[in-house]
Amino acid sequence: MTWIPRGLRDGIVTSRYPRESDGYGPDFRGSIEVSGQSATKSELADVLLACPTGAISLRDDKATLDRGACILCGRCTQLLPAVFQFSPNFEISTRRRSALVVPVMQESDAAIAAVQIELAARVKSLRRSVHIRHVDAGSDGSDEWEIAALTNPVYDVQRLGIYFTASPRHADVLLVSGLGALGMIGPLQHTYEVMPHPKVVIAAGVDAISGGLLHSSYATIAGISSSVPVDVFVPGSPPSPFGLLHGILMAVNLLAPRRADAARTFTARSVDSPESSDS
Amino acid sequence: MTIINTSSAVRVEVFVDTVVSQVRRGSRFAGLFARVLANDTRLSAVLDTDGTLDVVQTVLPAGERQFPSLGALVPSARWYEREIHDIFDLEPRDQGVIDPLVFARAPSSERSRSGSGFPTGAAHLELTPLPAHLRGEGVFTISYGPVRSGVFESVEYVVETPGEDIPHLRTRPFYKHRGVESLFSDKSVDDGVLLAERCEGVASVAHAWAFCAAVEEIGAVEITRSAALVRVLHAELERIANHLDSTIRHTEAAGQAVAYARFSLHKERVQRLRAQLCGSRFGRGVVVPGGVAAAPLLNVVQILSAIDSLELGVSSDMRLIMDTPSFVDRLRGTGVLSGALIDEFGALGPLARGSGLMQDVRWRQPYGAYAFLAQHEMESRVEGDALARQRVRIDEIAGSFGLIRECAQLLDQPHDSPESQWAVDVPPSSGSAIARVEAPQGELLSLVEMREGNLMRVKQRSASFHNLALFSSAFPNDILTDFAFIEASFGISIAGVSG
């Protein structure tokens, strides 16, 4: 009995994301934004050289950043603060690998729509009951902490009808962390094969997308997309729980437009504990 | 922190005797590492003699694939020998067929190797089923993993059981081997620290710190007092997060839903505090060669108030969970590791401290700001079970809160000149050094060899690697349903084991 009041102690700490935006602190480094500001050739050359994963390249003499390779080390933000800035924005998952390169190249609307429509049709039958099977394909261990955090009371993915499952036979979504270690390719593919249709694959984190900082190792295939068909890419090193949640909702087409009406006033919910005394 | 003197190598024939006689005289075996060069191969055994790290080196002639084995006389050396076998294709003499540990690969004839002995190109991975170890009526083998039932890192435990008892268990962490070590070669120290952070992501701060301490030792650089305090601040938050994670996994295994929610909320708060301090939920980018990247983004009042409310929540929930019989009963007497075994293996961290072996680098060989902080070491526990390890972690969490408070207060009284307060320049230097720090999992060694500021070889030896060797011995009276508790009580990250 003693635990029941304890569970009520801090009131509701659960985020209302995605229904409403979440006020996760502005200090949080969710992504790096690239502004259209121009820079000199030597400044750009320096920043290209400084990037440890080669995530930065040039397009028409302007810098672009591949978020699928960016480990958020922040060197570019120090060298060229006019062009590269940290941003708390975590809604950076995409359905196409190419769209991770920012500023995003304008592609034909038809191409974007086609990917979106195909994925939406595939996941239509899942509705609001989504089961996720996680597989670690060679992570550094931090990705698992962030994935496990989705079940804590702050993110509480069960409120959205999202559950983690132990059996691939129950799974709709394959959530893969890690760079594609050679030893995990077989188990990963086997897990994918035994999942029932329809199924969706999410590459969680830059390691899973491109191999990240370790992409040139002898023991990896540098990202999982050559062994399983990836539908949604979630950047981050590791991806934050909100970033993961955004990617999962994108994968199962549950990213409904956010409510704009202020009829129910949104009060910012803080996870910081209120003053409480021992009971 | 020790500079390695490479000129004092012993002859191959006396290598084993030298190491074994030191271990018999009371030195703790802390690791065995190989360094493959164009002309020869060096083996280094690291020993801890009364708190001082000592390296016994020997040189194998070029082309020699066998090396003298310590494993028969020093049991904790076996995993290190298997690791050297898997990565460098060298064989410990007279050890027979060696099961893969960190990397399973094709026979040696099919592989090319880099100048420093690491495999190159995409190595072909070969997995052969292990032969059963036990025979008897009804004995069968269960393979847990590598894809686990839940959100876990990949590892396979091969359990041989007649039904409930676990008379034999083998650990196979090689599935997720990433080859991190090989990538340090020819990198700058600034890139090296990014790699170090990714050796074992849940202990990013500790790995970055150990690596930077070795680099600073080679460069003969002393970091500022403020930088030293910020390192402790982040390292202790990392410890709290890791210890809470162990508690979360215990509560999950015990089916304590509310406690699970409470402790995972506390851990989330810790991760958010870390992000507020530096932008990263894992303290990444904080520790850099020569100090820390920047001042904490929160002021002292904010840090203290966050710590106060965190500690209030954590300590009162800890009191309740340790007073919850259905929780405590699952841990008491579970996964007992005897003091003798812990001593023989030279176990590390909370695992050692739960079995009566006081092994904490922070207080035994104080480094950085620990040398002048007023906090001092905790009592160890002697019971050796999962409950003792849990109690050790609870004490350490309390100690960490105290250390963070002390650091925050000292940071408020600036001592260094402002222009060099956070990081000093590390000149490009040459040499080798070992540094060690107390990671949440236990003693973490970083062996660094540099030439003119470029990394030649880096080996991060995590406590996870050293301690996981004991996992197969942790089931003396335990049954399959104790497995989750024993695993959680080890508090290990597989990334730190498989490399």
Query: Over the stretch A143-199, which tens digit does the pLDDT of each residue have?
Result: 999 999 999 999 999 999 999 999 999 999 999 999 999 999 999 999 999 999 999
pLDDT at B342: 95
Distance from CA of A139 to the nearest CA of B (A): 7
Q: What token pair was written down for A82?
A: 């006019």
| Pair (B184, B89) in one structural domain | no
- Say how far residue A269 (Cα) sits from the centre of its chain: 22
Residue B144 lies in a domain: no
Distance from CA of A107 to the nearest CA of B (A): 33
pLDDT for position B132: 76
Length of chain A: 279
pLDDT of residue A236: 94
CB contact under 8 A, B151 and A72: no
Whether residues A27 and B282 touch (CB distance < 8 A) is answered with: no
In Å, how far is A169's CA from the nearest CA of chain B? 12
Greater pLDDT, B415 or A10: A10
Shared domain check, B439 and B292: yes
Report the gap between the CA of A4 and the closest CA in chain B (Å). Answer: 7
Query: Is the dihedral angle over the CA atoms B247, B253, B259, B263 positive or is it negative?
Result: positive
- Nearest-neighbour CA in chain A from B314: distance (Å): 11
Question: What's the domain range around B263?
Answer: 180-498
Q: 3-class DSSP state for residue B58?
A: strand
Interface test with A, best of B87, B148, B154, B460 (most A CBs within 10 A): B154
Task: Provide mean pLDDT across the span A1-29.
Answer: 83
Tens of pLDDT, residue by residue over A16-71, are 888 887 777 666 788 999 987 888 989 999 999 999 999 999 988 889 999 999 99
**Is B411 a domain residue?**
yes
Contacts of A137 in chain B (CB under 8 A): 154, 176
- Domain of B272: which CATH number? 1.10.645.10
* Residues B233 and B351 both lie in one domain: yes
Name the nearest CA neighbour of B442 among B375, B371, B352: B352
> If you measure CA to CA, which chain A residue comes closest to B277?
A27
Domains and CATH numbers, chain A: 31-87 (3.30.70.20), 107-251 (3.40.50.12280)
Does B469 share its domain with B333? Answer: yes
Q: Which residues of B touch A144 (CB under 8 A)?
A: 151-153
Q: How far apart are CA B321 and CA B328, in angstroms?
A: 8
Task: Return the axis-axis angle of helices B189-197 and B204-218, rounded to nearest 10°.
Answer: 150
ipTM metric:
0.94
pLDDT > 70 fraction of chain A, expressed in percent and rounded: 89
Residue B385 has pLDDT above 90, yes or no: yes
- The residue assigned the tokens 């002309």 is B39
Q: Please report whether residue B184 resides in a domain.
A: yes
Out of A29, A216, A278, the one facing B183 most closely (by C-beta) is A216
How many other CB atoms are found less than 10 A from the CB of residue B421? 19
Pick the residue from chain B with its C-alpha nearest to A163: B150
Residue B143: predicted pLDDT: 87
Q: Do A152 and B261 touch (CB under 8 A)?
A: yes
| H or E segment and range at residue B362 | helix B361-364
Cα–Cα dist B56/B15, whole Å = 8
What mean pLDDT is predicted for residues A113-131? 86
Cα separation of B454 and B187, whole Å? 6
Using CB atoms within 10 A of its CB, is residue B364 exposed (0-12), middle (13-18) or buried (19+)?
A: middle
Identify the H or E element spanning B60. Answer: strand B52-61
DSSP tag of B380: P
- Among B123, B191, B261, the residue with its CB nearest the CB of A153 is B261
- Does B150 fall in a domain? no
CB contacts < 8 A, A to B, total 207
Per-residue pLDDT tens for B305-334? Answer: 999 999 999 999 999 999 999 999 999 999
Q: CA B488 to CA B256: how far, in whole Å?
A: 15
Kindly determine whether residue A271 and residue B265, on different chains, have CB atoms separated by under 8 Å: yes
Please give the full DSSP string across B63-125, using - where no structure is assigned: T--EE---TTT-GGGHHHHHHHHHHH--EETT--S---SS-----GGG--B-TTS-B-SSPPP
Amino acid letter for position B447: L
Q: State whether B46 and B193 are in the same domain.
A: no
- Does B268 fall in a domain? yes
B202·A145 Cβ contact <8 A = yes
- A4, A131, A140, A191: best mutation site toward chain B, by most B Cβ within 10 Å? A140
Label the pairing between strands A130-136 and A162-164.
parallel
Determine the Cα–Cα distance for residues B234 and B298; give it in Å rounded to an integer.
13
Contacts of B262 in chain A (CB under 8 A): 6-7, 9
Model pLDDT, residue A246: 94
Q: Are residues B379 and B259 in the same domain?
A: yes
Interatomic CA distance for residues A95 and A68, integer angstroms: 12
Is the per-residue pLDDT at A136 higher than 70? yes
**Tally of structural domains, chain B:** 2
B37 phi/psi in degrees, rounded to 5: -120, 175
Query: pLDDT tens for residues B209-253?
Result: 999 999 999 999 999 999 999 999 999 999 999 999 999 999 999
| Contact residues, B window 92-131, toward A, CB-based 8 Å cutoff | 103-104, 118-123, 125, 127
Sheet bearing A130-136, strands edge to edge: A162-164, A130-136, A173-177, A200-204, A232-234
DSSP character string of A101-146: EESPPP--HHHHHHHHHHHHHHHGGGTT-EEEEEEESS--SHHHHH
8 A C-beta contact, residue A34 and residue A199: no
Min CA distance, B233 vs chain A (Å)?
Answer: 18
Asked if A273 lies within 8 A of B281 by C-beta distance, the reply is no
Q: Where would I find the H helices in B288-335?
A: 300-321, 325-331
Q: Alpha-carbon distance B359 to B350, whole Å?
A: 8
How far is CA B174 from each of CA B82, B88, B465, B472, rounded to the nearest angstrom? 11, 15, 12, 16
H or E element at residue A84: strand A84-87
DSSP designation for B138: T
How many Å apart are CA B440 and CA B491, to the nearest integer? Answer: 9
CA distances in angstroms from B348 to B220, B360, B492, listed in the order given: 28, 8, 11
In this structure, is residue B400 part of a structural domain?
A: yes
b/e map of B13-26 (b: 16 or more CB within 10 Å)?
A: eebbebbbebbeee
Residues of chain B with Cβ-Cβ distance to A1 below 8 Å are none
3-state secondary structure B262-276: HHHHHHHHHHHHHHH
Is a pLDDT exceeding 80 seen at residue B142?
Answer: yes
Q: Give the contacts of B137 (CB within 8 A, at least 6 positions apart).
A: B162
pTM exceeds 0.90, yes or no: yes
CA dist B250 → B254, B334, B384, B482 (Å): 6, 12, 16, 10
Q: Does residue B131 belong to any structural domain of this protein?
A: no
Q: Please state, in angstroms and rounded to a whole number, the distance separating the CA atoms of residues B29 and B48.
A: 6
Domain boundary among B103, B119, B135: B119
Distance of residue A110 Cα from the nearest chain B Cα, in angstroms: 37
Find the CATH number of the domain harbouring B19: 3.30.460.80
Q: Residue B287 in contact with residue B234, Cβ under 8 Å?
A: yes
Same domain (yes/no): B193, B75: no
